[in-house]
A = this chain, B = another copy of it.
Amino acid sequence: MDRRDFFKTSLLGAGAVAAASSPLGLLSGCAPKAKKSDVKLHLSFQHGTPPGESLAEKFDYMEKLGIEGYEPGGKYLLSHYNEIEQNLRGRDIKVSAICAGFDGFILAEDPAVKAAFDSSMREIIDAAGQIGSVGVIMVPAFNGQKPCLPHTMETRDYLVAQLRELGQYALQHGTTVILEPLNRKEAFYLRQVADAAAICRDVQCEGVKCMGDFWHMKEETSDYAAFMAAGWGYLRHVHIASKGDRTMPGEFPDTDTYVQGFRALKEIHYEHFVSFECGCGGDREVLVPAAVQLLRDQWAEA
């Protein structure tokens, strides 16, 4: 790759690329002009977060708490599409992101495993777009997924090309694919939000976005810097949990501070969801509302 190619593939793309090169450029170029204090916290729950057996019970509970998003897994979405769609009617809840659920993985060396990813991921994307989800979360390769392409520039170029195709497909279906960095214990390949954001930039397709998960962001030196690196242009979803042991936010008061990350979300005028992906270390009827209140308080403080 010569210098001209480098620029072509990584710097001089669509307007969004140039606009995302700095926080201020980004804000003046793309983001809504709202004041920082006008940026609202939109909370979302995964399927297992609220108490309740049925979807109706879960959604009733969520509405009472003012939770605006619901994040099902991809397999659950496909198998319960009609039930989800019917239960959301007339409610102030939208599907936020779809959490994975595909077979195989995009960096598989085995063509059959890659083909399984391609077809199952597209099936989930179809459903995600149809139900109005902001995107489908994906990890390029978990540590346990082998054989995996080696961690080289050639593999990154391949990933970028594959994601461009997938992103175009997602855009055609009214949604996106969302790259999730995980911590080293789960996925060495992609660990930092800045790296995921740089992949999005190189892909040059509005159908490929990224996210941050406060739990996995133990890989970051700064929650604030990580979200600023993604910016309004690339950040499409956020996961949250206690930083102590991935239970409810607030279960480990000494560690469960999200203010610096929230400050970045406000500064970039983040307009998507902050979604609970966490266990629960005690009484869900107590800890879930307490977590919601904690996050609202910290958002106000940020």
**When the two chains form their complex, are residues A185 and B6 in contact, meaning their CB atoms are under 8 A apart?**
yes
**When the two chains form their complex, are residues A218 and B11 in contact, meaning their CB atoms are under 8 A apart?**
yes
**When the two chains form their complex, are residues A194 and B218 in contact, meaning their CB atoms are under 8 A apart?**
no
When A194-B192, A229-B229 are in contact, do A1 and B185 touch as well, CB less than 8 Å?
A: yes
Find chain B residues with CB under 8 A from A221 CB.
Answer: 20-21, 194, 197-198, 200-201, 229-231, 233-234
Q: What is the distance, in angstroms, from A157's C-beta to the closest C-beta of chain B?
A: 9
Find chain B residues with CB under 8 A from A1 CB.
Answer: 184-185
Residue A223, interface by CB 8 Å: yes
Residue A15, interface by CB 8 Å: no
Residue A113, interface by CB 8 Å: no
Q: What is the distance, in angstroms, from A213's C-beta to the closest C-beta of chain B?
A: 15
Per-residue B-contact encoding for A113-128, CB less than 8 Å = 1, 0 else: 0000000000000000
For chain A, residues 224 to 243, give those with C-beta under 8 angstroms from any C-beta of chain B: 224-226, 228-231, 233-234
**When the two chains form their complex, are residues A225 and B223 in contact, meaning their CB atoms are under 8 A apart?**
no
State the main secondary structure of chain A at its contact with B.
helix
Residue A153, interface by CB 8 Å: yes
Residue A79, interface by CB 8 Å: no
Determine the residue in chain B with the shortest Cβ distance to A201.
B221
Residue A151, interface by CB 8 Å: yes
A-B contact pairs, 19 of them (CB 8 A): A1-B184, A1-B185, A3-B185, A6-B183, A6-B185, A6-B218, A10-B218, A21-B221, A21-B223, A22-B260, A150-B151, A152-B188, A153-B188, A192-B194, A193-B194, A198-B221, A221-B230, A225-B225, A225-B229
Partner of A225, one of B194, B245, B257: B194
Residue A24, interface by CB 8 Å: yes
CA of A234 to CA of B195, assembled, Å? 19
Q: What is the distance, in angstroms, from A205's C-beta to the closest C-beta of chain B?
A: 15
Residue A219, interface by CB 8 Å: yes
Find chain B residues with CB under 8 A from A172 CB.
Answer: none
Find chain B residues with CB under 8 A from A129 CB.
Answer: none
Residue A220, interface by CB 8 Å: yes
Interface size on A, residues (CB 8 A): 50
**When the two chains form their complex, are residues B6 and A184 in contact, meaning their CB atoms are under 8 A apart?**
yes
Residue A23, interface by CB 8 Å: yes
Q: What is the distance, in angstroms, from A238's C-beta to the closest C-beta of chain B?
A: 16
When A228-B224, A228-B225, A229-B225 are in contact, do A260 and B23 touch as well, CB less than 8 Å?
A: yes
**When the two chains form their complex, are residues A23 and B151 in contact, meaning their CB atoms are under 8 A apart?**
no
Q: What is the distance, in angstroms, from A230's C-beta to the closest C-beta of chain B?
A: 7
Q: What is the distance, in angstroms, from A26's C-beta to the closest C-beta of chain B?
A: 8
Determine the residue in chain B with the shortest Cβ distance to A155.
B151
